[in-house]
Amino acid sequence: MASTSVSRIVPAPPDKVWSLIGGLDALPDWLPYIPESTALEGGRVRRLKNPEGEDIIERLVHFNEAERHYSYAILQAPFPVDGYVSTVRVHAIPGEENAAEVQWSGRFTPNGATEAEVVDLFTGIYRDGLDALHKTLAA
């Protein structure tokens, strides 16, 4: 099983960051790669569309409001992986009221690609996503 993780300091208090990214259906609010999200099964599943119109279907597997993190599994996607589970976390930074650390991590088994290729793919997605989040919060 392969894994990757990216962290980024963003210019907003942790509660404000969580209010933006903490909803499973919130990706279009801050992630340009996902222009459309539809909540299914009472909000436990999301159907995403990427810019090419491909479906990505993900299921919420863990949610913790108090600790500001959730995990989800990919059920269907155009990615060369099996067993994908990812976690998004928002951490307070001691002594920094107007900043937070956001961590996006995932683990998966490559299928039809090398481990390095898949790690690079998701590292890029997480990095670009957190860069977009930073831009949204800095605006």
Residue-wise pLDDT tens digits, 46-91: 999 999 999 999 999 999 999 999 999 999 999 999 999 999 999 9
Single pTM value for the model: 0.94
Residue 113 backbone dihedrals phi, psi, to 5 degrees = -150, 165
- Cβ within 8 Å of residue 95, ≥6 positions away: none
pLDDT of 139 above 90: no
Answer whether 27's CB lies under 8 Å from 48's CB: yes
Give the model's confidence band at 121: pLDDT under 50 very low, under 70 low, under 90 confident, else very high.
very high
Q: What span, in angstroms and rounded, lies between the C-alpha atoms of 1 and 108?
A: 6
Measured CA to CA, the distance from residue 94 to residue 105 in angstroms comes to 22
Predicted pLDDT at 87: 98
| Single-letter residue type at 36 | E
